[in-house]
């Protein structure tokens, strides 16, 4: 394959790499305090510039040696710059606002795979329930079936114990998302199994409510919190698949390096679902099971989903994308 990058470009950029390496070596040998404020600012600037260089280098397979060298520099710089940064509300806000959309967009293929698995099994669960109504008994307990036969929502009891139930809902949703993420350790099989169960459950309950003429009640209940909760679980599933791929297909990396890289990227991806699940838990405990008008519930759900997509797919700078490479 013919090289894409010219020697002139590499010669122009190499002094920046060498300067960053020099500052990192000084910091390693004498401590971060040995660097002046100006040098610390220079290191942060070089980190962003070199991150952008790495994204360019990775487009040229003949520049693999340079790419590995720059990647190692960035890993050392990232540890120094970010391990000493105090976590504040403003830091978290900037992460969610500026960094997370770039992280999400890089991992979009894995999120898409998680979405497709959930939809596929959801459709199958609905089809089996419609074809053979008794199939729902494998997923829906007798108490829920008895409630549906009376054309009542089993969620009505949540309203009377909303504060306590909200805490339980948040904990449960966080547990499900963590399991979807951690299931990737089993080469992605654990993630697949959880998404299979979630998809089937959603499809079965959706079809069962349709048969009992309760679709409106079901989807008006799901819409407000589901606009955040369901995407959060799917994103967590994408993080699990990222780990699974790193374990199964290390590519040009050694297996241990591939798993480490995949684990870091998956952790960054799943970190963004926590605030989504907190908001979803509050809505599911207080608003979704309430007697608010159906149109209002669908409006809230639609608005939240629109805001979610706007956030996740907002345009990101190349440098921001490269920082997580």
Report CA dihedral (182, 186, 191, 194) to the nearest 10 degrees. -100
* pLDDT at 32 (0 to 100): 73
Average pLDDT across the chain, whole number: 83
Residue range 285-318, pLDDT digits in tens:
888 888 899 999 999 999 999 999 999 998 875 4
Q: Write down the domain spans for the chain.
A: 7-85, 104-323
Band of the pLDDT at 2, cuts 50, 70, 90? very low
285 is written with which tokens? 């405990």
203 is written with which tokens? 């499809």
Average pLDDT over residues 12-36: 84
C-beta separation of 119 from 198 below 8 A: no
- Residue 159: pLDDT above 70? no
Taking the CB of residue 320, how many other CB atoms lie within 10 A of it? 18
Average pLDDT over residues 184-199: 93
Which alpha helices (DSSP H) does 107-159 contain, by range? 108-131, 142-149
Residue range 64-98, pLDDT digits in tens:
788 888 888 888 887 776 665 555 677 777 788 88
């Amino acid at each position: 394959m013919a090289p894409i990058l010219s020697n002139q470009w590499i010669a122009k950029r190499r002094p920046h790499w060498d300067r960053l390496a020099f500052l990192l070596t000084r910091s390693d040998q004498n401590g971060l305090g040995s660097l002046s404020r100006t040098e610390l600012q220079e290191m942060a600037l070089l980190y962003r510039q070199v991150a952008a260089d790495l994204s360019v280098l990775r487009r040229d397979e003949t520049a693999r040696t340079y790419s590995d060298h720059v990647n190692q520099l960035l890993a050392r710089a990232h540890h120094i710059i970010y391990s000493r940064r105090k976590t504040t509300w403003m830091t978290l806000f900037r992460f969610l606002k500026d960094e997370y959309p770039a992280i999400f967009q890089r991992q979009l293929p894995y999120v898409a795979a998680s979405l497709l698995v959930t939809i596929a099994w959801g459709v199958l669960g609905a089809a089996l329930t419609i074809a053979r109504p008794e199939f729902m008994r494998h997923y829906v307990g007798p108490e829920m079936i008895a409630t549906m036969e009376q054309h009542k929502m089993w969620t009505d009891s949540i309203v009377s114990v909303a504060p306590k139930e909200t805490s339980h809902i948040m904990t449960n949703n966080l547990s499900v998302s963590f399991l979807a993420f951690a299931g990737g350790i089993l080469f992605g099989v654990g993630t697949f199994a959880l998404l299979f169960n979630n998809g089937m459950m959603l499809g079965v309950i959706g079809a069962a409510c349709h048969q009992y003429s309760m679709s409106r009640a079901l989807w008006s209940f799901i819409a407000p919190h589901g606009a955040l909760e369901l995407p959060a679980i799917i994103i967590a599933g994408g993080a699990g698949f990222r780990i699974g791929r790193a374990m199964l297909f290390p590519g040009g990396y050694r297996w241990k390096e591939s798993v480490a890289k995949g684990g870091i990227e998956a952790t960054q991806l799943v970190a963004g679902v926590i605030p989504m699940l907190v908001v979803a838990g509050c809505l599911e405990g207080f608003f979704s099971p309430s007697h608010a008008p159906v149109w209002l519930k669908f409006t809230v759900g639609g608005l939240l989903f629109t805001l979610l997509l706007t956030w996740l797919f907002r345009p990101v700078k190349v440098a921001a994308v490269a920082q997580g490479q």
